[in-house]
Structure 1
Amino acid sequence: MPYGARLLADGNTRFRLWAPDLEAVTLECEDGHTAAMRALDDGWFECICPRGGNCAYRFRLSDDVAVPDPASRRQRDGDVHGFSVVVDAAAYEWKHAEWKGRPWHDTVLYELHVGTLGGFAGVAEILPHLAALGVTAIELMPIAEFAGARNWGYDGVLPFAPAAAYGTPEELKALVDSAHGLGLMVFLDVVYNHFGPEGNYLHAYASGFFDAGADTPWGSAIGVSTPQVGDFFVHNALYWIEEYQLDGLRFDAVHAIGNPGWLSALAARVHAAVGPERQVHLVLENEANQANLLGHGRFTAQWNDDFHNALHVLLTGEHEGYYAHYKAPMEHLLRSLREGFAFQGETFDGRRRGEPSTHLPPARFVNFLQNHDQVGNRAHGDRLTTLVAPEVVEAALVLLLLAPFVPMLFMGEEWGSRTPFLFFTDFPDEALRTAVRDGRRREFAAFTHFGGDDIPDPGAEETFLHSIPERDIALGDARIALVRRLIALRAKHVAPHIDTAASKGAGAVGDKAFTASWALGGGTLTLFVNLGDADALVAQPPSPAAAWLHGDAADIASLSRGLLPARRALACLES
């Protein structure tokens, strides 16, 4: 890696910094050693010093400014303003070094927040539970070092340093190692569209990191078209995949990067560096619905917000905020089931959104009923379990887990958890804490369901503590059994064929009831879903020869007579 501190074979360490705004930089080690860094071409500074692993260091820019390494592999005590630490990248001895990953069609994702589950060691403790459930991949919300002890992770400022609040680099590698030993892939959510508001010093010496002509909702846009900046993030992606043996990355809000050409180049470089011997998967969050970025040798799949948003409106009737674009939820949901995206070039917020996606197989789309955004960006962090009846959630889970898309669960969903997932931070700067709290309250003041002052304070510790998922006592065991059964059915009958599955149509049979079919492995998979409170008439019930994947005998008998019971979902295969 051309950035940061690299241990050399002779025991010395090479330090490098891209600081094009400066004429001189000095390396300072905590033990008192200093060295003037040699100026190279294109804004680079370098020095080689007789220091090894665990050396604490920083870069002195002027008499009154010293900064951490932007490519720090570890921050001492998690202090984003303090000393970086030299890490021996090869010191960890992998127990499952032979692991090469799993094919994408196997994927059942489980998104989690490391901090609420007790850090890297805490996540490792729940891996056997997830493996037994049938989950095949965990997805960690961002773990890059941030200011304070608590954060969602999207305020990271040192993208190569695992947050000390969660554990050490070795503990993260041990987590990945343990997951691989259980047959689980590990994905990481990475943020390349902005830096957090506290602890980012790049403006002081590398203003070219930022695009002065663009902004994001979270801060200055990143100038990835500058080679040294674009390469910084390409190397970050490779760092997680190679040094931590991760199986995939989820790229946060790439529409805010605004450079699809760079994204395509990033994907190509990662695939070329990894080679064919490992199965590594790259997943987008992309509001722009750019279907051209998805496919072999490009990005493996995209989070399908259209599916979630349309289904959520259908289930809850909510239509505020971004849900206002889904006022015809059945139409949008059925299109997402048939074609992937619901928006494929139609007008959205006064602009055209999306590209045709009909040609893409269902495997290119990650569907979900809940995730950190869709729960946590509600004022009170309400889970779906608190908004609709349990039977309706179970019917929606059948749709999620048996449709031939890649499904994702959010932590606690398998338990029927009713615990909120709230927005939380822990910025040491009091003015920033106040600004975040007041901004959060302004954001929701216009919503009819909740006013401003009762919004939980993001900076309060109890807001974080209330977000730790708990099992629903009444539903927990039964919900886990249902999810386990559905995932097992998926693995046997659906997953092997999602790369070649093709829609055979989807249509409404009631206000909240529909059928959807796909050609699947030489047969036809059909889901009959009724999310409403009234039975629905089905003009074409399945043939008597259908093989039923899910549905109890009474519901199947009713459907054979053309009546789809309320709050039920059934699935069958026909040859």
Structure 2
Amino acid sequence: MTSHWGGRWSEDGWTARIWAPDASEVGLVLRGQSHAMTREQDGFWSASAPAQPGDGYLFRVDGQDLPDPASRLQSGDVHAPSLVTGPADHAWQVPWQGRDWAEAVIYELHLGTFTPQGTLAAATEKLAGLADLGITAIEIMPVGQWSGDRGWGYDGVLPYALHPAYGSPDDLRRLVDHAHSLGLMVILDLVMNHFGPDGAYLHHAAPRFFDEGRHTPWGAAIDFSQPAVREYWIQCAEYWIGEFRLDGLRLDAVHQITGPGADEFMRQFAQRLHAVDPARAIHLIVEDERNEPDLRENGFDATWNDDFHHAVHCRLTGESDSYYASFSHDPVGDLCLALGRGHIEEGQPRPGRDTPRGRPCGHLPPTTFVNSTQTHDQVGNRARGERLLSLADPEGVRVAYALLLVAPYIPMIFMGEERGATTPFLFFADYTGDLAEAVRKGRAAEFAGIASLGSQVPDPLSPETFQRSKLDWDDDKARNWLDLTRRALSFRADHVVPLLKSGRSAPADVTRHGTASLSATWHFHAGTLDLWLSLGEVEPDLKPPQDTAFTLGRIGLDPFALSVTTRPR
């Protein structure tokens, strides 16, 4: 029998478990009263005790009191006692079996900056507007509780517990229910590759949770060779999918989930998640810098495709720093590869990269790739959080955005992109003391060598940095962008999605014309999708074929232009 993490109700009452394989003594402190815990064979300790929902509890591991690493709800911050939670009794209003992945148009949002209030309740009120535009899924940045109120969510230390600044678990259930009533899928970003720097008590309770011999950019690597570690994350994901009826997960930086047991974990993870509710479609997305093509064989639907983003970004901005180096030599040629094959880097030698990465992936269906022209990473990891509209010709940005929405890959919009937002999305956190100062100095040092940034990097600990990152909801200023989004996504739903559902019948044909133009044809069993694109120089006039069935028409003004048509088979 698999041991569960945290508290769980059964016919015998409430039982709490924690994995502490090297501890000599572990106790449960419930409502201030200590209860002895029993060591089990697999390194877990357990205790059953009379409890009521709302009771506070801690684990006492070799004399140190700590919250439940699998806490579902905290009484306060990440250092406070955890709370006993009762069985969910939410009255779901919407029968829901999910949506076909080919229909996905993803909208990535950060709950704290998506609305002025920064809450789940406020976000729920905005969903109808997204659905009206043709968006079919929201992807919520991580909500596992972290230290302080403000943050992106990637420094969580209690991944089972909803961050309290956003609202209650029932607020999340209401958001999901309302989203489903509008036809929107809800996907949650889950971080399983590291814990944040404040409040990660697993280091004390279970040092074996980590492999001190391997390190990630965020500290000691997690040891996935341990069955209890694999169960911690699988049970966490099962909780979010099962308790909140989520439609899927986006898994952060799985290239850092490595070492013994990692491959087995990923396969088991997908199998278990798809089994949570077999009647519903559950979609799993990975972020994986390795450009590996075998994720579909292991039960995953798609991967974030930063290659597409980098080619577009380099073409429009001319930037070549850091990870843009290998995409800055010929971004239009790279874009031809991305449109024809999905990934650009498939193991071939490339200028600007010492070691090739990736393997051929052109055999995969287009829906395997989640493309974007902006993400929280690519905007927020800039020193000043500039969006693409602040860095490049606005007409070029419009054309690239339209390309994203109509190409036969899964498009992902970063919140505000649909309305032409120019508000920055900055890095922000809410630490205090020495940790706050270390984060502040580290952020400044990260960009000190880039002369164009000057000497001032926004203080990530300042509340004003967080406030500057909130979206502007002035619809009058956004009208043209909203109209473009609605028009392009209507064309996608009516004419591109049916082609995707019919399946690909042959590889894509992508032809470059001059220095900055290309044409592409994708072949499907139900017909073809044809596209003509110019990104920055006046090129030969590319005429659509005469037997076009449906056309989006021309978008853009020279030297930027896009035309898209479909033809029946």
Report the Cα distance in structure 1 between the residues aligned to 2:498 and 2:87, rounded to whole angstroms. 36
SS at match of 2:220: strand
2:460 to 447, 458, 461: 458
Aligned partner of 1:569 in structure 2 is 562
Give a deviation string over 1:95-152, Cα, whole Å, max 9, x none.
22x2111110110000000111321111111011111111110000000000000010
Aligned partner of 2:99 in structure 1 is 102
TM-score, with length taken from structure 1 = 0.93
Aligned partner of 2:68 in structure 1 is 69
Q: CA deviation at 1:489?
A: 0.8
Give a deviation string over 1:5-53, Cα, whole Å, max 9, x none.
112346x311111111212111112x32221111111211111111021
Alignment pair present for 1:246 and 2:250: no
Give a deviation string over 1:422-477, Cα, whole Å, max 9, x none.
0000013x1111111111111111224213x4111111100100000114677501
Report the Cα distance in structure 2 between the residues aligned to 1:351 and 1:122, rounded to whole angstroms. 46
SS at match of 1:76: coil
When the two chains are superposed, the root-mean-square deviation of aligned CA atoms in Å is 1.8
SS at match of 2:21: coil
Contact 2:23/2:62 (8 A) holds in 1: no
Aligned partner of 2:15 in structure 1 is 14
Alignment pair present for 1:437 and 2:440: yes
Report the Cα distance in structure 1 between the residues aligned to 2:566 and 2:180, rounded to whole angstroms. 33
Give a deviation string over 1:297-350, Cα, whole Å, max 9, x none.
611000100000011001111000100011221222111111111011135743
Higher mean alpha-carbon deviation, 33-42 vs 279-288, is at 33-42
Unaligned runs of 5+ in 1: 556-563
SS at match of 1:464: helix
1:404 to 408, 420, 430: 408
Report the Cα distance in structure 1 between the residues aligned to 2:177 and 2:86, rounded to whole angstroms. 17
Contact 1:211/1:223 (8 A) holds in 2: yes
Aligned partner of 1:309 in structure 2 is 310
1:495 to 480, 494, 497: 497
SS at match of 1:519: strand
Alignment pair present for 1:514 and 2:512: no
Contact 1:503/1:517 (8 A) holds in 2: no
Contact 1:264/1:293 (8 A) holds in 2: no
Aligned partner of 1:366 in structure 2 is 370
Aligned partner of 2:83 in structure 1 is 85
Aligned partner of 1:535 in structure 2 is 538
Report the Cα distance in structure 2 between the residues aligned to 1:510 and 1:547, rounded to whole angstroms. 28
Report the Cα distance in structure 1 between the residues aligned to 2:462 and 2:422, rounded to whole angstroms. 21
Amino acid at match of 2:26: V
Contact 1:7/1:53 (8 A) holds in 2: no
Contact 1:308/1:367 (8 A) holds in 2: yes
Report the Cα distance in structure 1 between the residues aligned to 2:276 and 2:472, rounded to whole angstroms. 41
Aligned partner of 2:529 in structure 1 is 525
Contact 1:494/1:520 (8 A) holds in 2: no
Contact 2:316/2:393 (8 A) holds in 1: no
Amino acid at match of 1:510: G
Unaligned runs of 5+ in 2: none
Higher mean alpha-carbon deviation, 488-497 vs 499-508, is at 499-508
Report the Cα distance in structure 1 between the residues aligned to 2:131 and 2:215, rounded to whole angstroms. 41
Alignment of 1:35-434 (within 5 A): 35-63=35-63, 65-77=64-76, 79-96=77-94, 98-116=95-113, 117=115, 118-258=118-258, 259-275=262-278, 277-295=279-297, 298-326=299-327, 327-347=329-349, 349-428=353-432, 430-434=433-437
TM-score, with length taken from structure 2 = 0.94
Report the Cα distance in structure 1 between the residues aligned to 2:79 and 2:107, rounded to whole angstroms. 33
Structure 1 residues 39 and 288: alpha-carbon distance in aligned structure 2, compared to 1, 3 A threshold: same
Structure 1 residues 548 and 316: alpha-carbon distance in aligned structure 2, compared to 1, 3 A threshold: farther
Structure 1 residues 472 and 536: alpha-carbon distance in aligned structure 2, compared to 1, 3 A threshold: farther
Q: CA deviation at 1:183?
A: 1.1
Amino acid at match of 1:329: P
SS at match of 2:513: strand
Aligned partner of 1:486 in structure 2 is 488
Amino acid at match of 2:247: D
Amino acid at match of 1:130: L
SS at match of 1:346: coil
Report the Cα distance in structure 2 between the residues aligned to 1:471 and 1:396, rounded to whole angstroms. 23
How many pairs align?
555
Q: CA deviation at 1:526?
A: 1.1
Alignment of 1:462-481 (within 5 A): 462-471=464-473, 475-481=477-483
Give a deviation string over 1:217-270, Cα, whole Å, max 9, x none.
112111112110011111111111111110010000000112334212211222
Contact 1:4/1:71 (8 A) holds in 2: yes
Structure 1 residues 135 and 473: alpha-carbon distance in aligned structure 2, compared to 1, 3 A threshold: closer
Structure 1 runs of 4+ with >6 Å offset: none
Contact 1:109/1:137 (8 A) holds in 2: yes
Amino acid at match of 1:294: R
Give a deviation string over 1:252-302, Cα, whole Å, max 9, x none.
000011233421221122223432x2100000000001111125x611000
